[in-house]
Amino acid sequence: MSLPLDREARRVLPDEAAVHRHDRSVWTLRQARDRAAAAVPDFEALRDQAAAIKAHTLDHLGRYLEEFERHAAERGARVHWARDADAHNRIVHGLLAERGVRRVVKSKSMLTEECGLNRHLEARGIEVTDTDLGERIVQLYAEPPSHIVVPAIHRTRSEIGRLFEREMGAPSGESDPARLVEIARGNLRPRFLEAEAGITGVNFAIAETGSLTIVTNEGNADLGTSLPPLHIACMGIDKVLPTLEDLAVLLRLLARSATGQPLSVYTTLLTGPREGAEQHVVLVDNGRSRLLADSRHASVLACIRCGACMNTCPVYRRAGGHAYGFTPPGPLGAVLAPALAPTRATETLPFASSLCGSCSAVCPVRIDLHSQLLAWRGERTAIRGVGRLGVRSAAWVLSHPLALEAAGRLARGLWPLWSLRLPGNPLSAWLASRDLPERPRESFRRGWRRDRGRHR
């Protein structure tokens, strides 16, 4: 059975060179993560602590959300609640429209990506500038991010050079990353200065103080929240933490797991609006409370969006983020998508996995991602029609020894046909990058019966 992700992967990374380049870039991040983890003696204990903090918080989420709301309001923030993406978009647009805002700078937020905020605002005449460099690149390409930490990781420097030539007046043929960054800096600076509002995501919201924590390397969230008179912070209800002490644990893990830095360049704690400015926080459910009720899958809400599961995943590395057809991609997306956006296509995502467990092995909050992938396979009826018939037939054959013997003989008899690279060959996906091995002379069972005494 060929999965949608299989087919998309061939479109996204069309040749072996592209696959290799993507694999290498992503793997660099995984290696950096390993070095950073090894440099902290209590890293594994920190992961335990983080998992416990998140489990506790999710179990008492109602209490902490109310506590956060109360303290944020006491500090002068306005807190809004949105049940779904549409409500979120309407709240944000309402805030902007009431103040006559036409130009907005936005720092990275996977939530606004999930809600389709940009489209909603642009359709209503508001210009949104994504300011994270990677996000700006994918925005100009009118495509979704292919990675949550490095959104344009699928693009080469020459592609970005051509894009900047078209969009920012870069000199023709420019492909030096430092000069391209300089061009983007010059292009985006006036937008920061002219923006009438800044929208940001939220990495962590602190219940005991009502603070928002926003992490960037570029400083774009700091410009976006310190210049315009209006700051709108958009966050899923899963982003709250009880205390600043808990924040310390999560911050020690986040950047190390994401890029291998001990801390990102800017870790910004905002408690209430700055003088003369407004701060609004939009708390968004959009399927999270439903997921919270699902005891098998609720723990994925502990995710801190570091991207480590993507960087290590053999499927993501070779397929590219866009192949998933869902943001976020990777193992995280494959367990989130069937819960938050159940469709025929997203329900096949848990099948596009080797179940190697590498994602679970690096997750800073110890989400059992590979077990959840397996669990989704049993819970969703993505194997339909021929696929399901195939699985049932296989089950029957495997439980009847004579049938298995006969099937084996048949398969060996038809061997020359299996190696034909023709449409309709069920092995064609496998044969795309491999050759069929030589035909076995006899069945494994027969060889085993004959030889097993000899190798003891």
Partner 1 sequence: MSERDPVSEGAREQILRAVRSATLGRREHPGPYVPAPTPPAPATGALPGAWEAFRSAATAAGAHVLGPVSRAEAARAARERVAQLGSGRCVAEPAAVEMLGAGPWQVAAGAPREFADVSLAIARGAFGVCENGAILLTADLAPHRSLWVLCEHLWLLIEATDLVADMHEAVARISARGLSTPHSVWVAGPSKTADIEQALVEGAHGPRSLWVVGVV
Site for partner 1 in 288-327 (CB under 8 A): 289-290, 292-293, 295, 298
Which range binds partner 1 by CB under 8 A, 73-81, 314-322, 370-378, 439-447? 73-81
- Nearer residue to partner 1 within complex by CB, 177 or 390: 177
Q: Are 343 and 333 in contact (CB under 8 A)?
A: no
Name the minimum Å distance from CB 408 to partner 1: 47
Does 331 bind partner 1 (CB under 8 A)? Our answer is: no
Does 177 bind partner 1 (CB under 8 A)? Our answer is: yes
CA distance between the termini of the chain: 39
Residue by residue, what is the 3-state secondary structure of the chain?
A: CCCHHHHHHHHHCCCHHHHHHHHHHHHHHHHHHHHHHHCCCCHHHHHHHHHHHHHHHHHCHHHHHHHHHHHHHHCCCEEEEECCHHHHHHHHHHHHHHCCCCEEEECCCHHHHHHCHHHHHHCCCCEEEECCHHHHHHHHCCCCCCCCCCCCCCCCHHHHHHHHHHHHCCCCCCCCHHHHHHHHHHHHHHHHHHCCEEEECCCEEECCCCEEEEEECCCHHHHHHHCCCEEEEEEEHHHEECCHHHHHHHHHHHHHHHCCCCCCCEEEEECCCCCCCEEEEEEECCCHHHHHCCCCCHHHHHCCCCCHHHHHCHHHHHHCHHHHCCCCCHHHHHHHHHHHCCCCCHHHHHHCCCCCCHHHHHCCCCCCHHHHHHHHHHHCCCCCCHHHHHHHHHHHHHCCHHHHHHHHHHHHHCHHHHCCCCCCCCCHHHHCCCCCCCCCCCCHHHHHHHHCCCCC
- Which parts of 238-257 interact with partner 1 (CB under 8 A)? 242-249, 251-252
- Which parts of 42-61 interact with partner 1 (CB under 8 A)? 49, 52-53, 55-56, 58-61
List the x/- string, 254-283, binding to partner 1 by CB under 8 A. Answer: -----x-xxxxxxxxxxxxxxx-------x
Does 114 bind partner 1 (CB under 8 A)? Our answer is: no
Which range binds partner 1 by CB under 8 A, 126-134, 305-313, 360-368, 410-418? 126-134
Total residues at the site for partner 1 (CB under 8 A)?
A: 97
Does 65 bind partner 1 (CB under 8 A)? Our answer is: yes
Does 140 bind partner 1 (CB under 8 A)? Our answer is: no
Does 372 bind partner 1 (CB under 8 A)? Our answer is: no
Q: Which of 97, 140, 226, 377 binds partner 1 (CB under 8 A)?
A: 226
Does 93 bind partner 1 (CB under 8 A)? Our answer is: no
- Nearer residue to partner 1 within complex by CB, 58 or 352: 58
Does 73 bind partner 1 (CB under 8 A)? Our answer is: yes
Q: Which of 2, 156, 343, 354 binds partner 1 (CB under 8 A)?
A: 156
Does 134 bind partner 1 (CB under 8 A)? Our answer is: yes
Which range binds partner 1 by CB under 8 A, 286-294, 388-396, 416-424, 429-437? 286-294
Which range binds partner 1 by CB under 8 A, 130-138, 382-390, 411-419, 440-448? 130-138
Name the minimum Å distance from CB 49 to partner 1: 6
Which range binds partner 1 by CB under 8 A, 122-130, 175-183, 318-326, 393-401? 175-183
- Which parts of 184-223 interact with partner 1 (CB under 8 A)? 185, 188-189, 192-193, 209, 211, 217-220, 222-223
Q: Which of 89, 118, 129, 131 binds partner 1 (CB under 8 A)?
A: 131
Closest by Cα among 148, 146, 190 to 168: 190
- Nearer residue to partner 1 within complex by CB, 209 or 353: 209
